[in-house]
Chain A
Amino acid sequence: MNNILKFQARPLLMAGALATLLSASSCSFFEIDEVNDPNNASIESVVANASQAQLNALAVGVEASLRLGHANNSSYNQIVGTLGREVVVLNQTESRWYLELQGRRGATGNVSVDVLDDAAFYNGQYTDFARVGRAARIFRASAEASNVINVEQKSGIAGFTRTYEALSKLHLLNLQGENGIRVDLDDIRRPGKFVTQAEALTNIRQQLDQADQDLAAAGASFAFQLSSGYTGFNTPATFRRFNRALAARVALYQADYAGALTALNASFYDRAGSLTLGPKITFSPTTASDVGNPYFQVANGEPNNLVAVPSNFVTEAEAGDLRLAKVALRTTPRTLGGITGAYEARVFTSQNASLDIIRNEELILIAAEARANTGDLTGALADINAIRTRAGGLPALTAGSLTGLPQYINEILKQRRYSLFYEGHRWIDLRRLNRLNPNPAPGQTLALTEAPFRLFNRLERPAAEKQWDIANP
């Protein structure tokens, strides 16, 4: 008996020795330390008591986020450019660019596509622009809960972020058209329902107005820094002029022409000012975590993704229009899917070329349209002629050469086509003016519209949005 007891004591001893050994070998054999993200900072780290450096970084994030929808494989200007027949993307490995997005299937394209895909690569920029709003909301919430900045500075951040949030929604609405968008997005788990296009525009306008109020109460300077793209617009007072410029664009989309003119007055609209004046997205391919301008292409190159331009852009231009420098005749045209791309887009001449968010040239055109629609045809003509002479090198029109509002609108539409080429406007202009058809105006046509080609007035609502609404009725 005794003997056995002694024998059994050994295993216990052994087990004990083992346990001691194991627990001594590492900090603790039976404990797991919480693993924090070794690769990135966390959102939790800025939710409360964000430092000045963290707020600066969030501001950089908001500003940088606006390029996401351009620097992806369904770049905004290429998507809306394709839908508006400004450009044809002759991609050697992705035929959906020149087939599906132009409403057809097949090499000879003899079958029309009725509905665009709701989960294809070309829906990619939807999320990218939604991220702009998210970045803005996170920054605003972080700033509100931070102790290192004062009330004025917080108001400045509120105005900055609300402006970006409105910009985010405006891009989404441009893509979605009559599908409408969600505007109540504060709770990611409980987003609001979709609202109509008109309601969305109202919401965006209100948000811009609120941002304008915030900026008015923001003191002399921001608590964060902006890039060189905001030179001249980097204080609350000057940023407000940018905000008002956006408000003018939204008012135009709403056909609130008086409102557009009011907004323009508070913006940097200047009939005689630099046409390129305005905030920009900057690019720097050689800086870590930055990128190059995605719309730059090597002249006469054979890139996989060639952005070609339908010839009617050139043939329908007035002789000598300087803006034709935005395209160039290729030495070797590329033919894909039955489409020959004789011209290529050369709007952006280097990887470091910046991309305008909104600029004076557009403001002058908004002014022209708003004035024409409010009966100020003289003012409208002055704006039109500013563009014709300064941007196009074309002779000014005389008052007698345009008769009645429709001719003014046709002329403005034409000037917008050349002034804002490949900057994401044509399709939206045609749609809001109800002219998204093969012959939108005398002397202006849309290429690639005959059956089986098809014009789409919106992208499909993304599958994830549809599914969310089905699951959350």
Chain B
Amino acid sequence: MKKNLFIIFLMVTALLQQVVAQDRSISGRVTDASSGQGLPGVTVLVKGTTVGVSTDTDGSFSLNAPASATTLTFSSIGYLTIERTIGNASTINVQLATDTRQLEEVVVTGLATSIKRSNLANAVTTISAKELVGSTRPVTVDAALNGKVVGANISQTSGAPGGGVAIQLRGISSLTGGTQPLYIIDGVYAVNAEVGNGAGAAAFSAAASTTAGRSTQDNPVNRLADLNPNDIESIEVLKGSSAAAIYGTRANAGVIIIKTKRGVAGQTRVSFNQDLGFAKAWNLLGKEDWTNEKIDLKYTGARATLEKQRLADAQASGQVYDYEKQIFGNTAFLRNTSLSVSGGSEKTKFYVAGTSTDEGGIVNRTGFKRNSVRANLDQKIGERIDIGITSSFIRSQNRRGFTGNDNRGVSLGYTLGYLPSYAQLQPNEAGIFPDNPYGGDNPLAIVERAVNEENTNRTVQAVNGTLRILENESSSLRLAVQGGIDYSNSDAILALPADLQSQRNLPNPGAVRVLKNQFFNYNLQGFLVYDWRLGETINLTSQVGTVRLGLDRNLSFSQGQNLAPGEPLTPNRSSLVTQEVELGSERDIGHVAQQEVNFNDQIIATAGVRFDKSSRNGDPNKYYAFPKASLAVNIAKFGFFDLPSVNLVKLRAAYGETGAPGFFGSTFSPLVNTSTGGRVGFLPSTLVGNPDIGPERATEFETGVDLAFLESRITLEATYYNKVAKDLVNSFVLAPSTGVTSIRAFPVGDLQNRGLELSLGITPIRSENFNWVSTTQYWFNRTEVTRIVVPAFNTGLGFGSGFGRNVFTLGESPSRWYGTPTSAVDNPNNPSFLTRYEEAQPRFQMSFLNNFTLFKNVEVSFLLHWRKDSYTSNLSRLLQDEGGTTKDWSQDDDNNGVVNGLQRQTLPAREYIQNSGYVRLREASIYYSVPASIRTAIFKDFVRNIRIGASGNNLLTWTDYVGYDPEVSNFGATSNGAQVDVSSFPNTRRVFFHLSLDF
């Protein structure tokens, strides 16, 4: 029977080719099954042909189908694809149901090809625009991913405006090179550097007191903050080497592929979005007021008398303050406005958008602004050539103030810890701030007068072209070329006026630094892709291609100290000028070959290899190979259990390798500049290069099963991975007696990351008036050093064993904490005999995302995120304990006669290595679409859609952590993900009100 059908099919096909001319017109409308609204951009295709259109803004379509057409397929990302028999109908209206696990969406597997999710052999997480920012408006794209990517450990490292986010995909894969994932925006290798400007340098807060230039303690923003989340269509996360192998030596930490929105053919669509909101610190540490008895606990002698007098004076005049509230307790105003126009014809499609974001900070004179414009164009030239242009320009501004670690009294949180509530720091009538006798400076003066500002101009441009060289029944050959640039130029200024308290006491009072941070990334690639068929059941895709990447960097500053009085704050007006220019240049070249074999959508096998060379390797023209292979078996499609309720039973396994070359400079043994007596000189650096360095390499095997039942109302994705980072490049710590602290880059050992990722999607209720979609994710990662060829060394950036530090040593995780007390008897295995504490990586993470649609026009959603038992080295309470300001300082929890605030200061590292696990209501929202009847009554047909809503970020947090926020990090994104908190910028709770209009 089957065979007969097949013959008939062949005959029909043959017949069809003779009667192409007789088309007929079919029109209709595609709506969302849950909301009833028209769905734009749905692909309507005559099955078995390339004839098709996209629906317009309203969801309407009309197309000329060949007379022979029997079936139409309707597909759109995020919705289940359906087929409709045409019959004699000339109008076909369909409703599409949302797809919890999008089996039909395409996922990038090569640099120029993609594959249907149902045929994918890797667990690739795809985040749609709706999932990303459909609920609320996190300020940056990376913050918007938090809790949504199974297998990712994401932390918002700063609550400062503009954020600062660290992402770790499937554990630790590099200690030095790319510890953050590779971001690719519309094919452009994006700049995501976290560049400190020197807020923590010796001239400013001196957090890194020995660093003159830029340090890890500058509280920087990562450059992904420039990207407007509203422009994003979807994000794919290639978490491990098996999925990312095709990206070779830049993909060790995973790849995040971002696609921005593009036009769809049809009526021109205008969308306007207005979000207004506010942000407030969700948690303040609080304070404890003072009594004479308490003063006696902290001070003695004349000082105690003085303090008592100050307290009495303050109480008498009613001038007792809550300085934390005054500084961190403000409400910030948030605004986000965007306008987009999209549309086009079959030949030309466009998407043009402009967005303006203005987010105030909870600290006065801080904030983040971003204005961006984007134009994405697609043009078909004739039958064979497609050209696409992606163009965007961004201007962003950051004002972050001074927070975090400090050695000068400039950092706000740090100073606050030591500031008693009876201190008199308010400015007088003339606006003059009194000196702070309890710290290096008056924090109120710092808020008003210190400058830490950065303006970035950035453009991301990409051009891609496809030439269909050959297209026939059984094969097609196309050439896909692409070029892109990402150019960003930041101008920053840091300034502390000379008459600030902290400056007056310096030998060279007053500091100002003017910086320029310039990045130029480019990429060029060309691919030949050949799709061909063997028989009727085997589809093959072959591709070869080549990629060239380049990065040029110029980070420079000019700094002046000993400033002349008054304004303007510029190094020109100083007597002590220092400057620094840091240039960098990287070039990578890669060649790729990949072969896919698809047997009837039942067995899909892929094998490929990438050869890479890089200027960052010791030998810049030596190629390194990164192979990959994968296999997916769709058991449900074999037909031996033909149950209609089973949509997908897929077993999959994949292996792949990625790399990371030594970082820029790893081959250099510099003679750094010095001078004495007015003569210039060479001083050997404490670091020496390794001219033999090659790339580190992550090899990953992942396997899993994907299941979908009941029209995909129940889906399960389960993945186990084993990623081994081999020849991990790190500095090789030498005996410092030699005057050399380390060889910059050395293959120090291997590291294993193993983990499990589960993602369960359920649609418990799907009815006319109530729709509930729920996704539950669970994941964990375990890291262990499996080989080490150098002495055990410290990783991460702790503040010493008294507060906790991390050690790279055999059999342990490099993100585990160690600290005091030391004991050679109890801890013989640690080189410094330090006590072993907990792991910085969470025991597991879980997220619970739910969407409800009521009566087709009310949408409610929430995202709960649970991070279980992660540990952070937290010094925030120490500052308050030392200052006597902790909320519970005078209490005596264990009734031993010593108050908490004094007792805690005597404790070993245990006190500081704290559980930073949390359960957080990360996002929650409610939206209401104004029904068509009301809408048309007011606006006639001018407005197609009106939607209003309210949403929130970090609305509720349950945690035992005693700092401002369990996610923050004094050092930004750290290589091992272990974080240290020193009075960081408080994280905020954000609430938004939304209005969106479509015209």
The answer to whether A and B come from one shared complex is yes
Residues of A at the B interface (CB closer than 8 Å) are 7-8, 10-11, 14-15, 18, 22, 29-35, 37-46, 54, 56-61, 63-65, 67, 72-73, 91-96, 100, 105-108, 110-111, 115, 117-121, 124, 126-127, 130-135, 137-138, 168, 172, 181-182, 185, 188-189, 191, 225-229, 281-282, 284-290, 292, 296-298, 301-305, 332-333, 335, 338, 340, 351, 462-472
In chain B, positions 792-850 with a C-beta closer than 8 Å to chain A are 792-794, 800-802, 805, 822, 831-832
- Is there contact, CB below 8 Å, between A39 and B581? yes
Known: A29-B548, A41-B671, A92-B409. A120 touches B681 (CB 8 A): no
- What B residues does A287 contact at CB under 8 A? 675, 678
In chain B, positions 676-704 with a C-beta closer than 8 Å to chain A are 676-686, 688
- Is there contact, CB below 8 Å, between B303 and A335? yes
**What's the Cα separation between A44 and B688 when bound, in Å?**
11
- Is there contact, CB below 8 Å, between B406 and A182? no
B477 to chain A, nearest CB (A): 6
**What's the Cα separation between A308 and B213 when bound, in Å?**
29
| Known A227-B676, A298-B504, A302-B505; 13 more pairs at CB < 8 Å | A10-B469, A31-B621, A35-B615, A46-B671, A107-B881, A138-B684, A188-B739, A191-B738, A302-B435, A305-B407, A335-B300, A466-B831, A472-B791
- What B residues does A45 contact at CB under 8 A? 671
**What's the Cα separation between A33 and B581 when bound, in Å?**
22
Task: Select A107's contact among B548, B672, B905, beta carbons within 8 Å.
Answer: B905
With both beta carbons as reference points, the residue of chain B lying nearest to A185 in the complex is identified as B738
Instruction: Name which of B172-180, B185-193, B728-736 contacts chain A.
Output: B728-736
In chain B, positions 865-892 with a C-beta closer than 8 Å to chain A are 881-882, 884
With both beta carbons as reference points, the residue of chain A lying nearest to B881 in the complex is identified as A107
Task: Select B210's contact among A30, A124, A465, beta carbons within 8 Å.
Answer: A124
With both beta carbons as reference points, the residue of chain A lying nearest to B673 in the complex is identified as A289
Cβ of B665 under 8 Å from chain A: yes
Task: Select B507's contact among A29, A132, A298, beta carbons within 8 Å.
Answer: A298
Known: A181-B737, A289-B674, A289-B675. A61 touches B684 (CB 8 A): yes
Known: A11-B528, A95-B882, A127-B686. A225 touches B679 (CB 8 A): yes
- What B residues does A106 contact at CB under 8 A? 902-903, 905-906
Cβ of B501 under 8 Å from chain A: yes
How many chain B residues touch A (CB < 8 A): the figure is 110
A-B CB contact pairs (8 Å), 12 listed: A32-B615, A33-B615, A39-B582, A40-B670, A60-B675, A67-B676, A72-B210, A73-B209, A110-B898, A130-B738, A228-B677, A333-B302
- What A residues does B947 contact at CB under 8 A? none
**What's the Cα separation between A17 and B169 when bound, in Å?**
40
Cβ of B82 under 8 Å from chain A: no
**What's the Cα separation between A40 and B505 when bound, in Å?**
34
With both beta carbons as reference points, the residue of chain A lying nearest to B805 in the complex is identified as A119
Task: Select B684's contact among A8, A39, A94, A134, beta carbons within 8 Å.
Answer: A134
- What A residues does B681 contact at CB under 8 A? 56-61, 63-64
- Is there contact, CB below 8 Å, between B671 and A40? yes
Interface of B is mostly: mixed
A222 to chain B, nearest CB (A): 13
Cβ of B467 under 8 Å from chain A: yes
- Is there contact, CB below 8 Å, between B737 and A172? yes
- Is there contact, CB below 8 Å, between B524 and A29? yes
- What B residues does A18 contact at CB under 8 A? 479, 481, 526
**What's the Cα separation between A137 and B738 when bound, in Å?**
10
A3 to chain B, nearest CB (A): 11
- Is there contact, CB below 8 Å, between B670 and A465? no
- Is there contact, CB below 8 Å, between B735 and A468? yes
- Is there contact, CB below 8 Å, between A11 and B739? no
Instruction: Name which of B37-45, B265-273, B584-592 contacts chain A.
Output: B584-592
**What's the Cα separation between A40 and B209 when bound, in Å?**
23
Task: Select B589's contact among A14, A30, A56, beta carbons within 8 Å.
Answer: A30
**What's the Cα separation between A118 and B589 when bound, in Å?**
44
Cβ of B502 under 8 Å from chain A: yes
Known: A106-B906, A134-B684, A289-B674. A465 touches B735 (CB 8 A): yes
**What's the Cα separation between A61 and B588 when bound, in Å?**
36
- Is there contact, CB below 8 Å, between B906 and A462? no
Q: Considering the complex of A and B, which 5 residue pairs feature the smallest CB-CB distances, nearest first?
A: A227-B677, A134-B739, A60-B681, A471-B791, A40-B670
Known: A22-B524, A130-B736. A303 touches B505 (CB 8 A): yes
- Is there contact, CB below 8 Å, between B414 and A117? no
**What's the Cα separation between A32 and B587 when bound, in Å?**
7
- Is there contact, CB below 8 Å, between A304 and B801? no
A319 to chain B, nearest CB (A): 25
- What B residues does A351 contact at CB under 8 A? 507-508
- What B residues does A115 contact at CB under 8 A? 822
**What's the Cα separation between A54 and B805 when bound, in Å?**
41
**What's the Cα separation between A180 and B675 when bound, in Å?**
32
Known: A18-B526, A335-B299, A470-B792. A39 touches B674 (CB 8 A): no
- What B residues does A32 contact at CB under 8 A? 587-589, 613-615, 620-621
Cβ of B408 under 8 Å from chain A: yes
- What B residues does A290 contact at CB under 8 A? 674-676
Cβ of B16 under 8 Å from chain A: no
- Is there contact, CB below 8 Å, between B682 and A54? yes
Known: A34-B615, A67-B676, A338-B300. A92 touches B507 (CB 8 A): no
- What B residues does A34 contact at CB under 8 A? 615, 620
Task: Select B406's contact among A10, A40, A93, beta carbons within 8 Å.
Answer: A93
**What's the Cα separation between A297 and B507 when bound, in Å?**
7
- Is there contact, CB below 8 Å, between B467 and A464? no
Q: Most chain-A CB neighbours within 10 Å: which of B469, B508, B621, B794?
A: B469
Cβ of B26 under 8 Å from chain A: no
**What's the Cα separation between A285 and B901 when bound, in Å?**
41
